[in-house]
């Protein structure tokens, strides 16, 4: 079943809302999720966002490059569908634990240095 470009863009917007927790229109959602998206995917999404206002106008709609927009929509939706939310959550937890472990290690090393400096060890 071939979807229209407008339906594909709304699918991308829904995926951004579900997977990246970025709401609003397509441009705003992409800007909120920019740090979590690869550069190419962000650019393809912005290409779609620039086409949204032109789609409402009957004559300007004819100026749109439909094959490029379809390719961009399939790339962005393909990436968003491949995002593993559980893996991303685990990565955040591991990053936080790694930072805390490094901080504890630095405090222990500083404690040993101070005790050694004072001659208690």
- Note the pLDDT tens digit of each residue in 84-107: 989 989 999 999 999 999 999 999
pLDDT category of residue 2 using cuts at 50, 70 and 90:
low
Give domain limits for the chain: 1-83, 85-121
What does the alpha-carbon distance between residue 78 and residue 58 come to, in Å, rounded to a whole number?
Answer: 29
pLDDT tens per residue across span 15-43: 999 999 898 899 999 999 999 999 999 99
Question: Residue 86 burial by CB count (10 A; 0-12/13-18/19+): exposed, middle or buried?
Answer: exposed
Rounded Cα distance, 115 and 26, in Å: 58
């Amino acid at each position: 079943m071939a979807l229209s470009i407008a339906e594909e863009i709304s699918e991308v917007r829904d995926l951004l809302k579900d997977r990246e927790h970025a709401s609003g229109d397509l441009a705003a959602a992409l800007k909120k999720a920019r740090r979590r998206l690869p550069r190419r995917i962000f650019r393809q999404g912005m290409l779609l966002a620039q086409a949204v206002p032109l789609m409402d106008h009957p004559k300007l709609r004819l100026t749109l490059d439909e094959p490029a927009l379809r390719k961009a929509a399939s790339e962005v939706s393909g990436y968003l569908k491949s995002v593993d939310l559980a893996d991303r959550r685990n990565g955040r937890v591991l990053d936080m634990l790694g930072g805390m472990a490094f901080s504890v290690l630095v405090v222990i090393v500083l404690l040993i240095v101070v005790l050694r400096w004072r001659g208690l060890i």
